[in-house]
Amino acid sequence: MEDGKQIVFNIYGGSQQINPTAATAIQNYYGDQFAAEKLREESLNLSDLTPEAQALAVHISHVGNLTLYIAQLAQCESASALADVAMLLLEQEDKVTAELVVKAAFIKKLLALCPRLTKGNTIDNLRAAINNALAKRPRKRT
C-alpha cells in the first residue's frame, strides 16, 4: 500500500472478484434489500447482547430475527418447545442445518437461553426431542 495503510477483506459467502492491480473498485447495489438489511443490522447492536445471545448470533443470517428467537427460547418450558424453536431456526436461517441442530455445542447455545427449562434439559433429551421434530418435518422435494 502506497500510504502505509493496511487493507483487510472480510468475505462472507456470495461471489467475490479480487483484482490486486485494479486502481479502483465499484460495487453497485440495486433495490432496497441491502438498505433494509443494513438498517436492521445497525438497529441491533450485538455488543449490547448477553454472551449467550452473542454465541447464538453467529448462526443467524438475519440479525433482525435474533431478538425473536431469544424471546421464544426464553419461553421454552419443555424439550419439545426448544425443538420447535430449533425447527424455526432450521427453516429460516441459511447457516443452520439439520446436522448443526443436533450437535451438543449448538444445543448448549440454545439451552443457555432457556431459563424456564428446568426438567429434561440434558443434551441427550434435547437431542432426542430435536430428532423427533426433524422426523416430523415434511420432506422437501428436489
Q: 51-77 burial by CB neighbour count: b if 16+ within 10 A, else e?
A: ebbebbbebbeebebbeebbebbeebe
pLDDT at 120: 87
56: Cβ–Cβ under 8 A, 6 or more apart, which residues?
A: 66, 69, 70, 109, 110, 113
Q: What is the pLDDT of residues 63-93, one digit of tens each?
A: 678 889 999 999 999 999 999 999 999 999 9
Q: What is the pLDDT of residues 8-66, one digit of tens each?
A: 767 676 666 666 777 776 766 555 555 555 555 555 566 677 889 888 988 987 767 88
* Residue showing cell 426433524: 134
Q: What is the pLDDT of residues 106-135, one digit of tens each?
A: 999 999 999 999 888 999 999 999 999 999
